[in-house]
Chain A
Amino acid sequence: MAMIRDIFKRNKDSKEATIPTKSAKDVPEGLMTKCPSCKEITLTKDLDKNNKVCPKCDHHFKMTAYERVNSLLDAGSFESMDDHLKSENPLGFPGYTEKVQADSEKTGLNEAVLTGTGQLFGHPIVVAIMDSHFRMGSMGSVVGEKITRAIEAATERKLPFIIFTASGGARMQEGVLSLMQMAKTSVALKRHSNEGLLFVSVLTHPTTGGVSASFASVGDINIAEPKALIGFAGRRVIEQTVREKLPEDFQTAEFLLAHGQLDAVVHRASMKDTLATIVRLHTKGAVTNG
């Protein structure tokens, strides 16, 4: 009896243990797009107009860095920086250079983060937007350097810094150099903070590992998109370590909010308004005038 019950239970478990990670691949270039969450089929054109949020179930599709720029910043306000930095292959990993090259061609980015200046309803900001379509958004030397330079530009120009995180963590092929990018971005953030400047971290799906355990978690304000996977260790690693079943919503934005780890979970439709308001509330004189 118990065994029979186990069989049914296991089926249920494996379904629950699945977190959609292939959604990037599941978004075809075609006319219609199927929601990986509710299976609703939507016109791709309509989905794009809806900031890539499923109109039926509110599933937030992954965005490319440029899609994020377009959905967030004032039209034409974005100016990118440090597009000229190029990754090396410091440990000589076979195939690494080619993989970076291929992802660069696929995404039109030099690395897994796009950085620059832009405006939110006229308020100037410095942004960094990670793109999980580029090597899972993993952080190597160039990602660390671009984010650091963006933070420094914000410090120099006395501007708020907003980052959209999407990353599997540190990039293994660059070894300990990747790990040290966590420290590098942190020393830059400390300087920015000491100037009394605002740092908002927006955690999007997925934000894990070394990125979660560095800049992503130390915003003056940390907000996340609904259902985003956020955590330090991977679900499978934890299940193997603690040998217990994890709740279905484990490591989701809502789970983190309930455990006091986030300031808010914000729907993509109101992301721009929310961020603009936060920036305005941290701008001298802007509140009484606005």
Chain B
Amino acid sequence: MAKKNGKKTMPFEEPLIQLRTKISELKEYTANAEVDLSSEIKSLEDRFSKLEEEIYENMKPWDRVQVARHPERPTTLDYIPLIFNDFIELHGDRLYGDDEAIVSGIASFHGQPVTIIGHQRGKDTKENVRRNFGMPHPEGYRKALRLMKQAEKFKRPIICLIDTKGAYPGKAAEERGQSEAIARNLVEMAGLEVPVLSIVIGEGGSGGALALGVGNQILMLENSTFSVISPEGAASILWKDSALAQTAAEAMKITAPDLLEMKIIEHMIPEVRGGAHHDPQRQAAIISEAIRRSLAELNGMTAEELIDQRYRKFKSIGVFSE
């Protein structure tokens, strides 16, 4: 796979890589040769920035899926120190264990104490094994709920960062009640007396994502996805061919712009050009601003208003005729 700035590039970025290589070849050539190619280089560079704009401004759903899954895409633990101060991680569900596929704790946001809960995947194999590829077991969801209840006691807002392919489909997960753990979170989140802000930062895979998603507002990063099933899964069930994932990604309407249009999410958070992994620092600042704006809207609401608003939000989702 070609590298650009040391980052893994994606197929839809190929034309850019080719052009960039050509430009640097020309530059190298002029440095050692007598000919002046600066006007040619200039025109290629103009073409490059035009192409860059064209490609990144017209990303297809499948392109966004690839960005959402980019191995270097910033994770919950990347964002926390860039957005919050004084983060202290709190572990364990007090029932079975500590699921490292979910990270949670307390911190301050512009001086306001908050609770943060987020899926955590790894960026390399070793960390992915430790984090179970960001796919939680029931104890992960129960830890999340424990900390949500704690946040409620101390009247601090809850910020959930969603980034998972889904809840883990394993034997132990079933034995310990994966279904119940997710279902319990959905019901209990409905009744939380504090603001809940859910932000999809990568993949939002099915019930395992929704278990952190019953927020007063749902925000999605521009290149994140939220879906009932992965494009590959949908393709293999609908057309018996997982190679049609690209088609499924479009048909299933899983991208942030799609969900915004369907009024399932409140806001889409813009990403730095090409995706969050190009500049995590700047991306964190954009997310931070989005959180500030949303909390400003929610902080003034009473417990009753918050519960009522959450109720109305989810109650209204669905398309049917009477």
Query: Which residues of A come within 8 Å of B, CB atoms?
Result: 84-88, 90-93, 141-142, 144-145, 148, 170, 172, 174-184, 186-191, 193-194, 209-210, 212-218, 230-234, 237-238, 241-242, 244, 246, 250-251, 259-261
Contact = CB atoms under 8 A, between A and B. Distances in A.
Given A145-B320, A233-B178, A261-B180, A175 B190 contact: no
A115 to B, nearest CB: 14
Nearest to A215: B183
A177 B262 contact: yes
Contact of B169 (A84, A187, A233, A244): A233
Given A190-B187, A213-B178, A215-B183, A141 B318 contact: yes
B320 A141 contact: yes
Interface in B298-316: 310-311, 314-315
Contact of B171 (A86, A148, A174, A246): A246
Contact of B252 (A175, A181, A242): A175
Nearest to A210: B207
Nearest to B188: A190
Nearest to A239: B171
Interface in B129-156: none
Nearest to B310: A187
Contacts of B179: 212-213, 216-217, 230-232, 261
Interface string B156-194: 000000000001111101111111101110111111000
29 contacts: A88-B319, A88-B320, A141-B319, A145-B320, A170-B207, A175-B227, A176-B226, A176-B228, A177-B317, A179-B206, A179-B226, A183-B213, A184-B317, A186-B186, A186-B190, A187-B190, A188-B315, A189-B190, A213-B182, A213-B183, A213-B211, A214-B183, A214-B207, A216-B183, A233-B169, A233-B170, A238-B170, A238-B171, A241-B168
Contacts of B180: 217-218, 261
Contacts of B254: 175-176
Given A180-B318, A215-B183, A250 B171 contact: yes
B226 to A, nearest CB: 6
A87 B317 contact: no
A177 B310 contact: no
B253 interface: yes
Contact of A176 (B189, B191, B253): B253
B190 to A, nearest CB: 4
A184 B315 contact: yes
B228 A178 contact: yes
A198 to B, nearest CB: 15
B174 A231 contact: yes
Given A216-B183, A218-B186, A250-B174, 17 more contacts: A170-B206, A174-B319, A175-B253, A179-B207, A183-B213, A184-B314, A186-B189, A186-B214, A186-B314, A187-B314, A187-B315, A212-B179, A213-B183, A231-B179, A238-B174, A259-B176, A261-B180
B252 A182 contact: no
A232 B173 contact: yes
Nearest to B207: A213
A170 B228 CA distance: 7
A193 B171 contact: no
Given A172-B238, A182-B207, A232-B167, A218 B321 contact: no
Nearest to A180: B317
B177 to A, nearest CB: 5
Given A217-B179, A218-B187, A179 B174 contact: no
Given A175-B253, A179-B228, A217 B237 contact: no
A242 B228 contact: no
A187 B228 contact: no
Nearest to B214: A183
Contacts of B276: none
Contact of A177 (B170, B237, B319): B319
A238 B171 CA distance: 7
Nearest to B191: A190
Contacts of B227: 175-176, 179
B320 A183 contact: no
B31 interface: no
